[in-house]
Amino acid sequence: MLNLEILATLRNLIDEARRDGDPEPGAVNVATVGADGKVSARMVLLKHVDERGFTFFTDYRSEKALAIEAHPQIALTLHWKHLQPAAQVRIEGRAEKLSEQESDVYFATRARLSQLGAWASEQSSTLPDRKLLETRVEQREQEFENRTIPRPPHWGGYRVVPDMVELWYAHVHRLNERVRWELINGEWKQRLLYP
C-alpha cells in the first residue's frame, strides 16, 4: 500500500501536468524482462493511481503481458518535461492481473471503436497489411451491432504494486532533487539521493 504522502504527491503531479496542457499526463513507460532475458520498454496509458498501486490495461497475449507472466517485477517511468520544475517518477514493483470484474468495469468506459479494436487486434503479432485490421474491426462491428460489447477474455488490466518510488525534480546546473521511498519490512522509508 502506498503511503498517503507518496499518493498525494503523484496525484498532484499528474493533475498539474493535466492543467499545464499535457494531452496524456498519464503516459508511462513500462519496462519488462521477457522469458528470454531481453529487456523491453514501451509507452502505455496509466489509468488509475490509488493506495494499491498503478493500473494500466493491455491485451494479455501482447509481448508486455507475456514478459510480465515470465517476470512480474517491472519498472514504470513518468516524465513531465514542461512542468516547472520538470519532474520524473520512477516506480518499481510487481505487476498483478486485475480481477475480471475490475477489467470489465474499465472496458465498459472505453469508446466503442476502442472496444472493437480490442476484439479485432492480435496485439504484437504480425499484421500482413493494414486492410486486414480494418476488415476485422468491420466484422466485429457487425457482430456486435446494436449490442453492448463485452470485454474480450484476452484483454484486461494490471496493477503494479510498488516497492520503490523515486521522485526527481530538475534544478539548475543539474543539481537535481531526488527523493526515494522504499518499502522495507512493510514500511515506507524515505531518503534523499545525490543527483
Q: What is the pLDDT along the chain (195 residues), one digit of tens a residue?
A: 898 999 999 999 999 999 999 999 999 999 999 999 999 999 999 999 999 999 999 999 999 999 999 999 999 999 999 999 999 999 999 999 999 999 999 999 999 999 999 999 999 999 999 999 999 999 999 999 999 999 999 999 999 999 999 999 999 888 999 999 999 999 999 999 999
Estimate the share of the chain in helix, then strand, then coil, as percent rounded to the nearest 5.
30, 35, 30
d(CA 53, CA 1): 7
Walk me through the domains of the chain, giving residue ranges and CATH numbers. Answer: 4-111+153-193 (2.30.110.10)
In the prediction, which pLDDT does 172 show? 85
Write out the H or E segment, with its range, that includes residue 89: strand 87-97
First to last CA, the chain: 27
Which residues are part of the catalytic machinery?
A: 174
- Regarding pTM above 0.85, the answer is yes
In 3D space, the residue among 42, 40, 22 whose CA is nearest the CA of residue 32 turns out to be 40
Taking only the tens place, the pLDDT of each residue in 18-65 is 999 999 999 999 999 999 999 999 999 999 999 999 999 999 999 999
C-alpha cell at 58: 493491455
